[in-house]
Amino acid sequence: MASYSSCCWVLFFLVMGGLGGCVISSKISLGSRLTASRGEAWFSDNGTFAFGFTTCPGTVNNDDDDDDGDNNDKLFVLAIWFSKLPGDPTLVWSPNRDYPASRNAILELSVTGNLVLSDGHDILWASNTYGTGVKSASMEESGNFILYASSTASRHVWQSFSQPSDTLLPNQPLTASSELRSSSSASHGGLYALKMLQQTTSLSLGLTYILPNSEPYTNYSYWQGPDISNVTSNVTAILDPAGSFGIVYGDSSDGAVYVYKNDNDELGLSYSSHQTIPFNTLRRLTLENHGNLHLYRWDDDVNGSRQWVSEWAAVSNPCDIAGICGNGVCKLDIGKTNASCTCLPGTSQVGGDGLCYENSSLVGKCSSQHEIKNQTQTSEFNISVVQQTNYYFSETSVVANYSDVATVSKCGDACLSDCECVASVYGLTEETPYCWVLRSLDFGGFEDSSATLFVKVRSNGSMTPEGKAEGSSNNSDDEVEAKAVVLPIVLSMALLVALLCLLLYYSVHRKRTLKREMESSLILSGSPMNFSYRDLQIRTCNFSQLLGTGGFGSVYKGSLGDGTLVAVKKLDRVLPHGEKEFIAEVSTIGSMHHMNLVRLCGYCSEGPHRLLVYEFMKNGSLDKWIFPSYQGRDRLLDWKTRFYIAIATAQGIAYFHEQCRNRTIHCDIKPENILLDENFCPKVSDFGLAKLMGREHSQVVTMVRGTRGYLAPEWVSNRPITVKADVYSYGMLLLEIIGGRRNLDMSFDAEDFFYPGWAFKELTDGIAIKAADRRLNGAVDDEELVRALRVAFWCIQDEVFMRPTMGEVVRMLEGSISVNTPPMPQTVTELIEEGLEQVYKAMKREYNPYSSFTLTSHPSSHATCSNSTMSPR
């Protein structure tokens, strides 16, 4: 242990760091110790991190009767924290956060190599490294506290990085055997965990709400990251120093799946997993006590203050988090950002956290005698109805599940007649009604307009305003009759009011019934916000500002109540294709969330009207920026922006090809369907041609629909359609991004009108720079240009098996895998052999500059399908 004089020697550093304990070297020898009463800590070399004792805010040790110091009534935790930041310490690791120690606590690195936290005669925590040859310890600049087995610090026996608490630091691995855990709630013992969720053939990161003290042990997973299939070892989640978070896998950690990718991350997850990269920006990934996973960055200038800034959160809707209201109901405010908690009948708020928990004197749980005489339950219990409310529950909570009409229509009675039941849930799954009978209410409820919750409570129990008991009181009827005799005038008024209420109820109920039937008929369960047609008329100024037109309708500019700009797509006619496009877009886009996919904000399905509400893209579609035009003569994207758009677009397509629960084929990848936001971040739009494909199928039967020039050969050759059709379309799109012109442009002469042909010739001749957009005047990266051209020609190969997957396209463009020289596509070869000049003359005679480029279904063109497993290629 360092002497008191050495502690005073570094007093200046203590004052600068705002800490009250001694600063001891980052290299700690055997026999060193820290005491809680002095608030001592060990610091990293540059003072970024501290490891030692810090006080728990708001905690008091009532058992300590001493009063000779300010710390006498405080409790302490052993922790690692950012030592240079102002304000309360930001803890990143602690072994005793749920059971703090008194001021008498001591941390000692014993001569036997064991790191022990003791409080009096009690051992609160130990590293269990006794007899492992520990020689020294060190607080590293990475935030990792390490016990070394040699004086040269070349081999470590134990490290804090391997036993995370609720925070992940850059380069800290989270393996399949470890997890992040939030602190336990003092009132109900619930906590949250981030860990790998193992499925039959895949695994993914997941957020789980856990009730460890329940009988039996129960948990509920409410958020999952992308799935990783067919990986059995070396799977690690990691936060890299540039701010990206995801999973690396494989024997050399070469594979990577991003949960969140920072735009400024140039090296990527795979590189970070092999390197110990110093980081200039402080970041942390923290599992909050309220169940959300946040990525924070320290900012020294936020409107004149220094604070943590959230860069990403796993869950955007707080009501999607199980247990956030205890077992109560979570409700969003009008802005859909803040949540409030409402208790169910038979529950009440406990403690100061505002959460709801069961009151055993009110909840309807019957004793064993009722199992014999169920008929007595009718008088002893009531059913309280909570409208427009659904509930999270696990399999262990289910008593029964009914789908027959007779039982479902009396879902509340089904619970009342079942002794085990405490609540039942009625709702619709697609077009099928269901009734779940539950034996426990543990994970909380949420607003759902298509569901109803029935809670069983004791007849003599008090009710909360949220619940309305079925049945009526005879005493109330007697009182009304007495008042009718004494006060006939009051009775007349009451009858009049009752009649008006009945008419109002009938009107409202009729509207709700019609709306529910319409929504269920369109299979929109769980879709985005539902707008009325009148709402969208107001928000678009009666559809006065036209942004553009598409194959099935027009797009108008609008504004929501908070000023957010939106694009409203109005389907002009409700034909079979139009309705299919509407349902496909809502169900597909509404379930997809990626930074390179257009976000669907809402929809309208009212009578004959079908409208979709998208986020507004300030810079419009990509074609307006890469193709020369008189209106866009001042618009020119430099090479760096084009290459970024190419990679980001590929990442968006790869997401719905490979990472979604249901694989999706877009069927119409083209520049007009790539939209750009104010930062020129591309987002893939228009999923009207999309067709969902289950994981067990790789092919899909669909009508031939798309845009000429981007359609893969299999569309017109009666071959099965797979995701590789989108790869072909992307290849044609990539060529147009490189060349800054249409692949087939009759405004050029016979030698240049077919861009893929002469671009391939320039590539093979070693002068790829001539294939780049001439307006760039050669200002391109030669290596990136050659790589992009090679990738494009691999994508447009006629044989499906020769085309890469979109995941491989992303890795080839990023340079993580090499790209060989591709052969000339057969279609290009045949066109050149036929003679470009003859083809040009024939097309020139048929060319009509005003003709549509949209190819619709043809009676004789059908894509056949067979069921098979999705192959890597």
Output the known binding site.
Answer: 570
Residue 858 to residue 704: CA distance in whole angstroms: 7
**Known binding site for ATP: residues?**
570
Q: Are 261 and 197 in contact (CB under 8 A)?
A: no
The alpha carbon of 661 is separated from its chain's Cα centroid by a whole number of angstroms, namely 13
Tokens coding 641: 């922006």
Residue 665 to residue 331: CA distance in whole angstroms: 35
**Residues comprising the chain, all counted:** 873
- My answer on whether omega of the bond before 216 falls inside 30° of 0, hence cis, is yes
Looking at residue 657, what DSSP letter applies? I
Q: Are 436 and 421 in contact (CB under 8 A)?
A: no
Tokens coding 622: 């990509």
User: Residue 409: exposed, middle, or buried by beta-carbon count in 10 A (0-12, 13-18, 19+)?
Assistant: middle
Sequence-separated (6 or more) residues with CB below 8 Å from residue 68: none
Residue type present at position 524: L
Query: Phi first, then psi: what are they for 80, rounded to 5°?
Result: -110, 135
Sequence-separated (6 or more) residues with CB below 8 Å from residue 486: none
The alpha carbon of 472 is separated from its chain's Cα centroid by a whole number of angstroms, namely 46
Residue 789 to residue 439: CA distance in whole angstroms: 61
The alpha carbon of 588 is separated from its chain's Cα centroid by a whole number of angstroms, namely 15
HSE-up of residue 749 (Cα within 13 Å, Cβ side): 1
Helices and strands (H and E) in the chain: how many: 19, 48
User: Residue 335: exposed, middle, or buried by beta-carbon count in 10 A (0-12, 13-18, 19+)?
Assistant: exposed
CA angle 331, 332, 338 (to 5 degrees): 120
CB atoms within 10 A of CB 367: 7
Strand 529-530 relative to strand 600-606, pairing = parallel
The strand order across the sheet containing 236-239 reads 174-175, 236-239, 245-249, 255-260
The CA distances from residue 619 to 547, 624, 626, 632, 679, in Å, are 11, 9, 12, 12, 9
Q: Are 273 and 284 in contact (CB under 8 A)?
A: no
Sequence-separated (6 or more) residues with CB below 8 Å from residue 169: 92, 142, 143, 144, 161, 239, 283, 284, 285
What's the farthest any 2 CA atoms get from each other in the chain?
106
Residue 344 to residue 363: CA distance in whole angstroms: 10
Residue 276 to residue 417: CA distance in whole angstroms: 63
Q: Are 568 and 539 in contact (CB under 8 A)?
A: yes
Give the residue numbers marked as catalytic.
668
Strand 27-29 relative to strand 136-139, pairing = antiparallel
Tokens coding 295: 């990525």
Residue 181 to residue 186: CA distance in whole angstroms: 15
Sequence-separated (6 or more) residues with CB below 8 Å from residue 334: none
Residue 622 to residue 619: CA distance in whole angstroms: 8
Residue 463 to residue 460: CA distance in whole angstroms: 9
The strand order across the sheet containing 293-302 reads 167-168, 283-287, 293-302, 305-313
- Residue among 31, 51, 42 nearest 7 (CA): 42
